[in-house]
Protein backbone atom coordinates (compact mmCIF):
# COMPACT_ATOMS: atom_id res chain seq x y z
CA UNK A 1 0.00 0.00 0.00
CA UNK A 2 0.96 3.63 -0.44
CA UNK A 3 3.11 4.93 2.46
CA UNK A 4 3.90 1.41 3.78
CA UNK A 5 7.61 2.01 3.28
CA UNK A 6 7.51 5.40 5.01
CA UNK A 7 5.84 4.03 8.13
CA UNK A 8 8.16 1.03 8.19
CA UNK A 9 11.12 3.38 7.86
CA UNK A 10 9.90 5.24 10.94
CA UNK A 11 9.54 1.94 12.80
CA UNK A 12 13.11 1.03 11.79
CA UNK A 13 14.39 4.39 13.03
CA UNK A 14 12.68 3.84 16.37
CA UNK A 15 14.30 0.40 16.59
CA UNK A 16 17.72 1.73 15.59
CA UNK A 17 17.73 4.24 18.43
CA UNK A 18 18.07 1.34 20.89
CA UNK A 19 20.94 -0.45 19.12
CA UNK A 20 23.38 -1.84 21.67
CA UNK A 21 20.92 -1.40 24.54
CA UNK A 22 18.66 -4.45 24.04
CA UNK A 23 21.17 -7.34 24.01
CA UNK A 24 20.55 -10.27 23.98
CA UNK A 25 17.23 -9.20 22.46
CA UNK A 26 16.80 -7.68 19.00
CA UNK A 27 15.96 -4.03 18.40
CA UNK A 28 12.33 -3.67 17.36
CA UNK A 29 10.16 -0.68 16.44
CA UNK A 30 6.39 -0.47 15.93
CA UNK A 31 4.09 2.20 14.47
CA UNK A 32 0.27 2.12 14.45
CA UNK A 33 -1.50 4.16 11.79
CA UNK A 34 -5.22 4.91 11.60
CA UNK A 35 -6.69 6.87 8.65
CA UNK A 36 -3.29 8.34 7.81
CA UNK A 37 -2.59 9.44 11.39
CA UNK A 38 0.15 7.91 13.54
CA UNK A 39 -1.75 6.91 16.67
CA UNK A 40 0.90 4.78 18.37
CA UNK A 41 4.68 4.33 18.35
CA UNK A 42 6.90 2.08 20.40
CA UNK A 43 10.26 0.42 20.62
CA UNK A 44 11.89 -2.30 22.63
CA UNK A 45 14.26 -0.46 24.95
CA UNK A 46 15.89 -3.15 27.06
CA UNK A 47 15.72 -6.93 27.57
CA UNK A 48 13.14 -7.73 30.23
CA UNK A 49 11.10 -4.63 29.43
CA UNK A 50 7.93 -4.61 27.28
CA UNK A 51 8.22 -5.31 23.58
CA UNK A 52 7.78 -2.57 20.96
CA UNK A 53 4.16 -3.53 20.19
CA UNK A 54 3.11 -3.16 23.84
CA UNK A 55 4.28 0.46 23.97
CA UNK A 56 2.65 1.24 20.63
CA UNK A 57 -0.73 -0.26 21.64
CA UNK A 58 -0.63 1.48 25.02
CA UNK A 59 -0.24 4.76 23.19
CA UNK A 60 -2.88 4.03 20.56
CA UNK A 61 -5.59 2.90 23.00
CA UNK A 62 -8.97 2.69 21.21
CA UNK A 63 -7.46 4.17 18.06
CA UNK A 64 -5.96 0.75 17.31
CA UNK A 65 -9.40 -0.39 16.09
CA UNK A 66 -9.22 -1.01 12.31
CA UNK A 67 -5.72 0.49 12.20
CA UNK A 68 -2.55 -0.85 10.57
CA UNK A 69 0.39 -2.03 12.65
CA UNK A 70 3.89 -1.68 11.20
CA UNK A 71 6.48 -3.74 13.03
CA UNK A 72 10.13 -4.32 12.13
CA UNK A 73 10.20 -7.90 13.44
CA UNK A 74 7.54 -10.59 13.47
CA UNK A 75 5.52 -10.30 16.71
CA UNK A 76 6.62 -12.99 19.16
CA UNK A 77 4.51 -16.07 19.89
CA UNK A 78 6.17 -17.34 23.05
CA UNK A 79 6.11 -16.64 26.76
CA UNK A 80 9.58 -15.25 27.46
CA UNK A 81 10.22 -12.52 29.98
CA UNK A 82 7.04 -10.99 28.52
CA UNK A 83 3.83 -12.54 27.10
CA UNK A 84 3.36 -13.16 23.34
CA UNK A 85 2.86 -10.02 21.24
CA UNK A 86 1.02 -12.05 18.59
CA UNK A 87 -1.88 -12.52 21.08
CA UNK A 88 -1.87 -8.80 21.85
CA UNK A 89 -2.05 -8.04 18.11
CA UNK A 90 -4.76 -10.66 17.59
CA UNK A 91 -6.96 -9.06 20.27
CA UNK A 92 -6.13 -5.44 19.45
CA UNK A 93 -8.69 -4.80 16.72
CA UNK A 94 -6.12 -3.89 14.03
CA UNK A 95 -7.15 -4.93 10.56
CA UNK A 96 -3.77 -5.10 8.90
CA UNK A 97 -0.24 -5.94 10.05
CA UNK A 98 2.89 -5.14 8.06
CA UNK A 99 6.02 -7.02 9.16
CA UNK A 100 9.52 -6.26 7.83
CA UNK A 101 11.07 -9.63 8.56
CA UNK A 102 10.46 -12.93 10.35
CA UNK A 103 11.87 -13.60 13.81
CA UNK A 104 14.70 -16.19 13.48
CA UNK A 105 14.28 -17.13 17.16
CA UNK A 106 13.38 -20.87 16.96
CA UNK A 107 10.72 -20.24 19.61
CA UNK A 108 8.95 -17.89 17.17
CA UNK A 109 10.06 -18.55 13.53
CA UNK A 110 6.79 -17.87 11.72
CA UNK A 111 4.42 -18.84 14.54
CA UNK A 112 3.71 -15.19 15.42
CA UNK A 113 2.65 -14.47 11.83
CA UNK A 114 0.51 -17.64 11.72
CA UNK A 115 -1.36 -16.71 14.93
CA UNK A 116 -2.25 -13.29 13.51
CA UNK A 117 -3.20 -14.62 10.05
CA UNK A 118 -5.34 -17.39 11.53
CA UNK A 119 -7.24 -14.72 13.46
CA UNK A 120 -8.34 -13.32 10.08
CA UNK A 121 -6.06 -10.28 10.12
CA UNK A 122 -4.31 -9.37 6.87
CA UNK A 123 -0.53 -9.77 7.24
CA UNK A 124 2.08 -8.58 4.78
CA UNK A 125 5.70 -9.65 5.28
CA UNK A 126 8.85 -8.27 3.64
CA UNK A 127 8.53 -4.47 3.51
CA UNK A 128 12.11 -3.10 3.96
CA UNK A 129 13.24 -6.62 4.80
CA UNK A 130 16.90 -6.06 3.90
CA UNK A 131 17.14 -2.97 6.13
CA UNK A 132 15.39 -4.77 8.99
CA UNK A 133 17.70 -7.77 8.74
CA UNK A 134 20.78 -5.57 8.64
CA UNK A 135 19.62 -3.72 11.74
CA UNK A 136 19.33 -7.01 13.60
CA UNK A 137 22.39 -8.68 12.04
CA UNK A 138 23.80 -9.39 15.49
CA UNK A 139 20.58 -11.01 16.76
CA UNK A 140 20.05 -13.03 13.57
CA UNK A 141 23.62 -14.37 13.74
CA UNK A 142 23.13 -15.28 17.42
CA UNK A 143 19.91 -17.18 16.69
CA UNK A 144 21.34 -19.14 13.77
CA UNK A 145 24.85 -19.93 15.04
CA UNK A 146 24.57 -19.61 18.84
CA UNK A 147 27.81 -17.64 18.83
CA UNK A 148 28.64 -13.97 19.35
CA UNK A 149 28.66 -11.65 16.32
CA UNK A 150 32.32 -10.69 15.83
CA UNK A 151 33.23 -7.26 14.47
CA UNK A 152 36.84 -6.75 13.45
CA UNK A 153 38.07 -3.19 13.88
CA UNK A 154 41.22 -2.08 12.12
CA UNK A 155 42.94 1.33 12.08
CA UNK A 156 45.64 1.46 9.42
CA UNK A 157 47.67 3.76 7.18
CA UNK A 158 46.94 4.04 3.46
CA UNK A 159 49.60 1.36 2.89
CA UNK A 160 47.96 -1.02 5.35
CA UNK A 161 50.17 -0.66 8.41
CA UNK A 162 48.85 -0.67 11.97
CA UNK A 163 52.15 0.04 13.74
CA UNK A 164 55.81 0.74 12.96
CA UNK A 165 58.45 -1.98 13.35
CA UNK A 166 58.87 -0.90 17.01
CA UNK A 167 55.16 -1.43 17.61
CA UNK A 168 54.48 2.31 17.88
CA UNK A 169 50.91 3.06 16.83
CA UNK A 170 49.73 6.20 18.61
CA UNK A 171 48.01 7.45 16.66
CA UNK A 172 47.27 6.11 13.21
CA UNK A 173 43.78 7.58 12.81
CA UNK A 174 42.48 11.02 13.80
CA UNK A 175 40.50 12.04 16.84
CA UNK A 176 37.06 11.58 15.24
CA UNK A 177 37.75 7.97 14.28
CA UNK A 178 39.20 7.23 17.71
CA UNK A 179 36.13 8.64 19.35
CA UNK A 180 33.97 6.44 17.14
CA UNK A 181 35.76 3.39 18.49
CA UNK A 182 34.65 4.35 22.00
CA UNK A 183 31.07 4.66 20.72
CA UNK A 184 31.45 1.14 19.36
CA UNK A 185 32.83 -0.20 22.65
CA UNK A 186 29.83 1.39 24.33
CA UNK A 187 27.50 -0.81 22.27
CA UNK A 188 29.09 -4.27 22.39
CA UNK A 189 29.05 -6.92 25.12
CA UNK A 190 32.71 -7.88 24.73
CA UNK A 191 36.03 -6.60 23.42
CA UNK A 192 38.69 -9.15 22.51
CA UNK A 193 42.49 -8.99 22.15
CA UNK A 194 45.39 -11.42 22.34
CA UNK A 195 47.90 -11.54 25.20
CA UNK A 196 50.55 -10.21 22.77
CA UNK A 197 48.71 -6.88 22.71
CA UNK A 198 48.42 -6.89 26.51
CA UNK A 199 52.20 -7.37 26.76
CA UNK A 200 53.01 -4.79 24.06
CA UNK A 201 50.52 -1.99 24.82
CA UNK A 202 49.12 -2.71 28.30
CA UNK A 203 45.71 -1.31 27.23
CA UNK A 204 42.76 -0.62 29.55
CA UNK A 205 40.12 -1.39 26.89
CA UNK A 206 37.55 0.74 28.68
CA UNK A 207 35.03 3.05 27.05
CA UNK A 208 35.99 6.69 27.36
CA UNK A 209 33.23 9.06 26.29
CA UNK A 210 32.11 12.45 27.59
CA UNK A 211 28.69 11.24 28.74
CA UNK A 212 27.63 8.08 30.58
CA UNK A 213 28.98 4.91 29.01
CA UNK A 214 29.25 1.18 29.48
CA UNK A 215 32.42 -0.92 29.49
CA UNK A 216 32.36 -4.11 27.48
CA UNK A 217 33.70 -7.28 29.11
CA UNK A 218 37.41 -7.52 28.28
CA UNK A 219 38.29 -10.90 26.79
CA UNK A 220 41.95 -11.86 26.53
CA UNK A 221 43.15 -14.88 24.55
CA UNK A 222 46.08 -16.18 26.55
CA UNK A 223 46.95 -19.85 25.90
CA UNK A 224 49.72 -20.08 28.50
CA UNK A 225 48.55 -17.47 31.04
CA UNK A 226 51.24 -14.92 30.24
CA UNK A 227 49.10 -11.94 31.33
CA UNK A 228 51.16 -10.06 33.97
CA UNK A 229 49.47 -9.67 37.35
CA UNK A 230 49.98 -5.92 37.14
CA UNK A 231 48.50 -5.51 33.62
CA UNK A 232 45.82 -2.81 33.40
CA UNK A 233 43.18 -5.32 32.33
CA UNK A 234 43.60 -7.25 35.61
CA UNK A 235 42.17 -4.25 37.44
CA UNK A 236 38.51 -5.29 37.49
CA UNK A 237 37.04 -2.33 39.38
CA UNK A 238 35.85 -0.58 36.22
CA UNK A 239 35.26 -3.50 33.89
CA UNK A 240 35.05 -7.28 33.99
CA UNK A 241 37.87 -9.36 32.48
CA UNK A 242 37.76 -12.91 31.15
CA UNK A 243 41.00 -14.65 30.23
CA UNK A 244 40.46 -17.47 27.77
CA UNK A 245 43.19 -20.02 28.30
CA UNK A 246 44.31 -23.61 27.74
CA UNK A 247 46.50 -23.52 30.85
CA UNK A 248 45.67 -25.21 34.13
CA UNK A 249 43.22 -22.84 35.76
CA UNK A 250 44.07 -24.13 39.23
CA UNK A 251 47.74 -23.15 38.92
CA UNK A 252 49.30 -20.55 41.18
CA UNK A 253 49.20 -17.87 38.47
CA UNK A 254 45.57 -18.65 37.75
CA UNK A 255 44.70 -18.35 41.43
CA UNK A 256 46.48 -15.02 41.68
CA UNK A 257 44.55 -13.70 38.66
CA UNK A 258 41.28 -14.96 40.09
CA UNK A 259 42.19 -13.30 43.38
CA UNK A 260 42.24 -9.99 41.50
CA UNK A 261 38.71 -10.62 40.20
CA UNK A 262 39.66 -11.92 36.73
CA UNK A 263 37.49 -14.76 35.40
CA UNK A 264 39.19 -17.64 33.62
CA UNK A 265 37.60 -19.65 30.83
CA UNK A 266 39.30 -22.90 29.89
CA UNK A 267 39.02 -24.07 26.30
CA UNK A 268 40.69 -26.90 24.44
CA UNK A 269 43.60 -26.21 22.15
CA UNK A 270 44.38 -27.56 18.71
CA UNK A 271 48.10 -27.84 17.82
CA UNK A 272 48.95 -25.48 20.66
CA UNK A 273 46.38 -22.88 19.55
CA UNK A 274 43.15 -22.10 21.37
CA UNK A 275 40.02 -23.55 19.79
CA UNK A 276 38.44 -20.21 18.87
CA UNK A 277 35.09 -21.63 17.83
CA UNK A 278 34.75 -23.39 21.18
CA UNK A 279 35.79 -20.18 22.96
CA UNK A 280 33.06 -18.24 21.12
CA UNK A 281 30.45 -20.90 21.88
CA UNK A 282 31.31 -20.75 25.58
CA UNK A 283 31.30 -16.95 25.60
CA UNK A 284 27.85 -16.97 23.98
CA UNK A 285 26.60 -19.36 26.67
CA UNK A 286 27.57 -16.87 29.36
CA UNK A 287 25.63 -14.12 27.59
CA UNK A 288 28.11 -12.38 25.28
CA UNK A 289 26.20 -11.67 22.06
CA UNK A 290 28.70 -9.46 20.24
CA UNK A 291 32.43 -8.86 20.36
CA UNK A 292 34.66 -6.12 19.04
CA UNK A 293 37.89 -7.75 17.87
CA UNK A 294 40.76 -5.30 18.34
CA UNK A 295 43.82 -7.41 17.46
CA UNK A 296 46.74 -7.98 17.31
CA UNK A 297 47.51 -9.19 13.85
CA UNK A 298 47.92 -12.88 14.71
CA UNK A 299 44.62 -13.04 16.60
CA UNK A 300 42.92 -11.11 13.79
CA UNK A 301 44.34 -13.51 11.19
CA UNK A 302 43.20 -16.59 13.11
CA UNK A 303 39.63 -15.30 13.39
CA UNK A 304 39.63 -14.22 9.73
CA UNK A 305 40.98 -17.54 8.40
CA UNK A 306 38.56 -19.57 10.50
CA UNK A 307 35.60 -17.57 9.16
CA UNK A 308 34.74 -16.25 12.61
CA UNK A 309 34.50 -12.56 11.67
CA UNK A 310 31.03 -11.37 10.62
CA UNK A 311 31.83 -7.73 9.89
CA UNK A 312 34.90 -5.62 9.16
CA UNK A 313 35.26 -1.95 10.10
CA UNK A 314 38.46 -0.60 8.57
CA UNK A 315 39.60 2.96 9.22
CA UNK A 316 42.18 4.20 6.71
CA UNK A 317 44.33 7.17 7.69
CA UNK A 318 45.80 9.52 5.05
CA UNK A 319 49.41 8.61 5.80
CA UNK A 320 51.96 6.14 4.52
CA UNK A 321 54.30 4.31 6.89
CA UNK A 322 56.27 2.09 4.49
CA UNK A 323 58.85 -0.39 5.77
CA UNK A 324 59.09 -4.16 5.45
CA UNK A 325 58.79 -4.68 9.20
CA UNK A 326 55.82 -2.49 10.03
CA UNK A 327 52.85 -4.43 11.34
CA UNK A 328 49.84 -5.24 9.18
CA UNK A 329 46.33 -5.94 10.51
CA UNK A 330 46.13 -9.61 9.50
CA UNK A 331 49.35 -11.62 9.70
CA UNK A 332 48.96 -15.40 9.93
CA UNK A 333 50.26 -17.79 7.32
CA UNK A 334 51.43 -16.62 3.88
CA UNK A 335 49.27 -17.60 0.95
CA UNK A 336 50.56 -18.56 -2.47
CA UNK A 337 47.82 -17.25 -4.72
CA UNK A 338 45.47 -14.27 -4.51
CA UNK A 339 42.61 -16.75 -4.97
CA UNK A 340 43.26 -17.91 -1.40
CA UNK A 341 42.46 -14.45 0.00
CA UNK A 342 39.27 -14.19 2.04
CA UNK A 343 36.71 -12.52 -0.24
CA UNK A 344 34.82 -9.50 1.09
CA UNK A 345 32.01 -7.24 -0.09
CA UNK A 346 32.35 -3.52 0.55
CA UNK A 347 29.04 -2.37 2.01
CA UNK A 348 29.79 1.27 2.70
CA UNK A 349 32.53 3.93 2.62
CA UNK A 350 32.39 7.07 4.76
CA UNK A 351 34.57 9.99 5.79
CA UNK A 352 35.22 9.98 9.54
CA UNK A 353 37.02 13.29 10.12
CA UNK A 354 40.14 13.10 7.93
CA UNK A 355 39.99 9.29 7.73
CA UNK A 356 37.98 6.91 5.56
CA UNK A 357 35.97 4.08 7.03
CA UNK A 358 35.09 0.97 5.05
CA UNK A 359 32.39 -1.39 6.27
CA UNK A 360 32.79 -4.83 4.70
CA UNK A 361 31.23 -8.27 5.03
CA UNK A 362 32.82 -11.63 4.24
CA UNK A 363 31.35 -13.40 1.24
CA UNK A 364 30.46 -16.93 2.29
CA UNK A 365 30.21 -19.60 -0.35
C1 LIG B 1 8.57 -8.78 19.56
N2 LIG B 1 8.70 -7.47 19.85
O3 LIG B 1 9.85 -5.76 20.68
C4 LIG B 1 10.88 -7.88 20.67
C5 LIG B 1 10.75 -9.24 20.30
O6 LIG B 1 12.35 -12.49 26.85
P7 LIG B 1 11.37 -11.72 26.05
O8 LIG B 1 9.95 -11.95 26.44
O9 LIG B 1 11.70 -10.24 25.98
O10 LIG B 1 11.47 -12.28 24.56
C11 LIG B 1 12.62 -12.07 23.80
C12 LIG B 1 12.42 -12.63 22.41
O13 LIG B 1 11.28 -12.00 21.81
C14 LIG B 1 13.58 -12.34 21.47
O15 LIG B 1 14.52 -13.39 21.46
C16 LIG B 1 12.87 -12.22 20.12
O17 LIG B 1 12.59 -13.49 19.58
C18 LIG B 1 11.57 -11.56 20.51
N19 LIG B 1 11.74 -10.11 20.53
N20 LIG B 1 9.60 -9.64 19.73
O21 LIG B 1 7.49 -9.21 19.16
C22 LIG B 1 9.79 -6.97 20.40
N23 LIG B 1 12.00 -7.42 21.27
ZN1 LIG C 1 6.88 -9.70 21.64
Residue bearing the CA closest to ligand 1, atom 22 = 51
Q: Is the pLDDT of residue 148 over 80?
A: yes
Region 267-274: mean pLDDT is: 90
Q: Is the pLDDT of residue 2 over 80?
A: no
What pLDDT is attached to residue 344? 98
What pLDDT is attached to residue 270? 86
Q: Is the pLDDT of residue 76 over 80?
A: yes
Active site residue 49: no
Q: How far is the CA of 28 from the centre of ligand 2 (A)?
A: 9
Mean model confidence pLDDT for the chain: 95
Protein residues with CB under 6 Å of any ligand 1 atom: 25-26, 28, 44, 47, 51-53, 73, 75-76, 80-82, 85, 103, 105, 108
pTM for this prediction: 0.94
Task: State the pLDDT confidence band at 352, using cuts at 50, 70 and 90.
Answer: very high
User: Which of 182-191, 244-253, 279-288, 329-338 is predicted with the least confidence, judged by mean pLDDT?
Assistant: 244-253
Region 111-139: mean pLDDT is: 97
- In a mutational test of the pocket of ligand 1, which residue from 75, 80, 125, 139 has the highest number of ligand atoms less than 8 Å from its CB? 80
Q: How far is the CA of 80 from the centre of ligand 1 (A)?
A: 8
What pLDDT is attached to residue 333? 94
Q: How far is the CA of 241 from the centre of ligand 1 (A)?
A: 29
- In a mutational test of the pocket of ligand 1, which residue from 25, 29, 73, 136 has the highest number of ligand atoms less than 8 Å from its CB? 25
Quote the longest CA-to-CA distance of the chain: 70
User: Which of 77-86, 88-97, 142-151 is predicted with the least confidence, judged by mean pLDDT?
Assistant: 77-86
By the CB criterion, residues less than 5 angstroms from ion ligand 2 are 51, 76, 85
Region 206-214: mean pLDDT is: 88
Task: State the pLDDT confidence band at 289, using cuts at 50, 70 and 90.
Answer: very high
What pLDDT is attached to residue 81? 85
In whole angstroms, give the CA distance from residue 155 to residue 171.
9
Q: How far is the CA of 40 from the centre of ligand 2 (A)?
A: 16
Q: Is the pLDDT of residue 263 over 90?
A: yes
Q: Are 163 and 43 in contact (CB under 8 A)?
A: no
What pLDDT is attached to residue 152? 98
Ligand 1 atom closest to the CA of 107, numbered from 1: 17
Q: Which residue, 201, 165, 149, 204, is CA-closest to 182?
A: 204
What pLDDT is attached to residue 35? 95
What pLDDT is attached to residue 94? 97
Amino acid sequence: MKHDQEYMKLALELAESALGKTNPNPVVGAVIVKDGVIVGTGLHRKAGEPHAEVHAFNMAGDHAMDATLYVTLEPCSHYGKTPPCALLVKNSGVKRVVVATEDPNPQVAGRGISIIREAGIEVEVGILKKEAQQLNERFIHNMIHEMPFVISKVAMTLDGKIATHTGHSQWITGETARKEVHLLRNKVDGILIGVGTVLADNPKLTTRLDGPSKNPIRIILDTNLRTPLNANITDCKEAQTIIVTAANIDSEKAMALKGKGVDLLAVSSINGKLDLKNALQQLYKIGITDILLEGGSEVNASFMREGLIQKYLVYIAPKIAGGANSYTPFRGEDIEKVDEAVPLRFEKTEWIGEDIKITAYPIRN
